Amino acid sequence: MAELKKLKVIIFDLDGTLVDSTRDITNALNHAIAPYGYKPLTSGDTLKLVGEGITRLVEKVIGDDTSSIKDDILDRFIKYYDEHLTDFTRPYPEIRETLARLGRYKKAVISNKREVLSKKLLKQLDLLRFFDIVLGSDSVSDRKPSPVPLRKVLEAFRISPENAIIVGDSDLDIRAGKSAGIITVAVTYGYRSREALTQADFLIDSIDQLLALIE
């Protein structure tokens, strides 16, 4: 188990942790599936599906027997989403203020969103400047809940697992952190219920509570 007093690096999840992007993802999904007669999704529907990346998101919506149209739906989603990343997406309360107070720590984002989209979204919301590394689902050979992207960050900073924590809103973040030997902090305001986060080492109800936890 990592010791917070030795903390040097904080790894953050993106969607559901730093930003609420549900509406823009839902809009992109509905645009992508519209020509194929699927029922439009609500933001509540999307919340139940997100977390494992864009490809898995589309697969969950259209099912396994429609592979012939999957590539077109993916292309439509990515093109639309790239142009509407931050129409409604906003940082959660206290995100900018908290990140500004974490200046003495190295910081990374590991998202299951593709890297170019993750960086573009962060830049548009004036958050990219806070991070030393941003990895997406296509940055390394595997994505969360695999520990591979977390190990990539540790290698880049040349630190041991006991010097890092991961902050996220889902079991994918918790599982990845535990597999990598990193302490896990789950936020309860994101896309998953508190009950789904019980395996985390710590639970926080707002991001500014992270400051009291580590300082």
DSSP for the chain, written as a single string: ---GGG--EEEE-SBTTTEE-HHHHHHHHHHHHGGGTPPPPPHHHHHTTTTS-HHHHHHHHH-TT-HHHHHHHHHHHHHHHHHSTTSS-EEPTTHHHHHHTTTTSEEEEE-SS-HHHHHHHHHHTT-GGG-SEEE-TTSSS--TTSSHHHHHHHHHHT--GGGEEEEESSHHHHHHHHHHT-EEEEETTSSS-GGGGTTSSEEESSTTHHHHHH-
CATH number of the domain bearing residue 117: 3.40.50.1000
| pLDDT in the model for residue 3 | 61
Q: Give yes or no for residue 128 having a pLDDT over 70.
A: yes
User: Are 45 and 12 members of one domain?
Assistant: no
Q: Say whether pTM exceeds 0.85.
A: yes
CATH number of the domain bearing residue 60: 1.10.150
User: Are 32 and 134 members of one domain?
Assistant: no
Q: What residues are labeled active site?
A: 13
The pLDDT > 90 percentage for the chain reads 84
Q: Which of 53-57, 67-71, 90-94 has the highest mean predicted lDDT (pLDDT)?
A: 90-94
User: Are 16 and 122 members of one domain?
Assistant: yes
User: Are 37 and 120 members of one domain?
Assistant: no
The number of distinct structural domains making up the chain is: 2
By residue range, what is the domain housing residue 34?
Answer: 22-83
pLDDT confidence tier of residue 37, bands split at 50, 70 and 90 = confident
| pLDDT in the model for residue 48 | 85
| Bigger pLDDT: 120 vs 48 | 120
| pLDDT in the model for residue 5 | 76
| pLDDT in the model for residue 2 | 47
User: Are 136 and 165 members of one domain?
Assistant: yes
